[in-house]
Amino acid sequence: MEIRGRISKGMIEMKKFSSKERVLTAFSHQEPDRIPIDYLYNPDIDRRLKKHYGLATDDDEKLCRILGVDFRTIEAPYIGPKLHADIPGMQVDIWGRRKKWVEHDWGGYWDYCDWPLRDADRDTILNWPLPSPDDFDYEVIRRASYKFQDYCVIIGHPGVADLINSNSMLRTMEQVLVDLITDDPAGMALIEKSVHIWLEIMQRSLEAGQGRIDLLWIGDDLGTQRGPVISLDLYRKQLRPHHQKFVDLACSWNIPTMIHSCGSSSWAFDDFVEMGIAVVDTLQPEAENMDPADLKARWGKELSFHGMISTAGALANGTPEQVTTDVRQRLEIMMPGGGYALAPTHEIQDNSPTENVVAMYEAARKYGKYR
């Protein structure tokens, strides 16, 4: 995706960039005034940060401004009929995915605990209630795109076009991988249905935004910490054609696509370039073949990067000073020539001390300046 056409010479010469200009300049592989910054979080981290800064628990916008966040993600809420029955002790979403609260040392997590389509055949999949694109309030997109027009406005998230991880929440990870290898009719039907729904939701969201949306975010977790989840051939056969539909949709609106993938995913980066994907998200530096310097050297002129501040490293286990060092080292590698937005490699987890998260964003604002 060519982004440079959306960046004027005047933007580069300005002493003060808007957040929108800052992100689009960076993602066009040029240097703005400072690196763009993003914020991804678990609810408890968000609550603690708001308490630290003396904010109300619902003052999301003020927190984003304090942290220097340049992105705003907007979405159309579901307003349709109830699709799945409540189950005591569980959360059941509009896709029929079931979660249970699981306690851990730092609090708890709503985790997937039951897989209603594990043994489903194709007919069961076809009759499984899924949300209709008609049943979302796209007026919210229109209003929010006006409200945040000075920021980089994102639609989508890592769950959009996420065919491995999201479908495994209904069929189990094991069954989804078998589906991909064997062309299981039930698994293929679930993929086709989910892609159709998400593609239509994204299309209508873009229409509602009327040119004020700047980035389409999709995802698929392609890696473990040690290597690929699937082979490159299987990716090209089963997933890439579906991901391409979203990239083509974004290109039709002259906006870039960002793809999320946890773990070791650089094996797919050449394909991302061929597909027209502009930005890769997450970039866990501790995973195999994900060294930031190597990624920047090999793909830094063709792909932009969003992430790279590990939620499993100093942010969770170090001191504020170590977090600052970690951020500075990452910036020294990633900043030259643009093409980088600082963000955590995942939602910041509950085991990260508040002071470490504060140090991360203070270091980003202090050391991420180009001018």
In degrees, rounded to 5, the angle at the alpha carbon of residue 255 between the alpha carbons of residues 361 and 20 is 35
At 7, the amino acid letter reads I
Q: Looking at the predicted structure, is the pLDDT value of residue 4 above 50? A: no
Q: How far apart are CA 314 and CA 307, in angstroms?
A: 15
pLDDT of residue 3: 62
Reply yes or no on whether the pLDDT at 136 is more than 90.
yes
Q: Which domains are seen in the chain, by residue range?
A: 4-83+137-367 (3.20.20.210)
| pLDDT tens-place string over residues 90-116 | 999 999 999 999 988 888 889 999 999
pLDDT of residue 353: 97
Average of per-residue pLDDT values in the chain: 95
Average pLDDT over residues 121-137: 98
Q: Is 287 helix (H, G, I), strand (E, B) or coil?
A: coil
As a whole number, mean pLDDT of residues 127-138 equals 98
Output the CA–CA distances (angstroms, integers) from residue 283 to 10, 58, 223, 292, 299, in the order listed: 32, 30, 10, 8, 13
- State the Cα–Cα distance between residues 17 and 64, nearest whole angstrom: 17
d(CA 19, CA 36): 7
Is the alpha carbon torsion for 277, 283, 288, 291 positive or negative?
positive
What's residue 105's pLDDT? Answer: 85
Q: By mean pLDDT, which of 9-18, 124-133, 352-361 is the weakest?
A: 9-18
pLDDT reading at 328 higher than 80? yes
Residue 47, judged by CB atoms within 10 A of its CB (0-12, 13-18, 19+), counts as middle
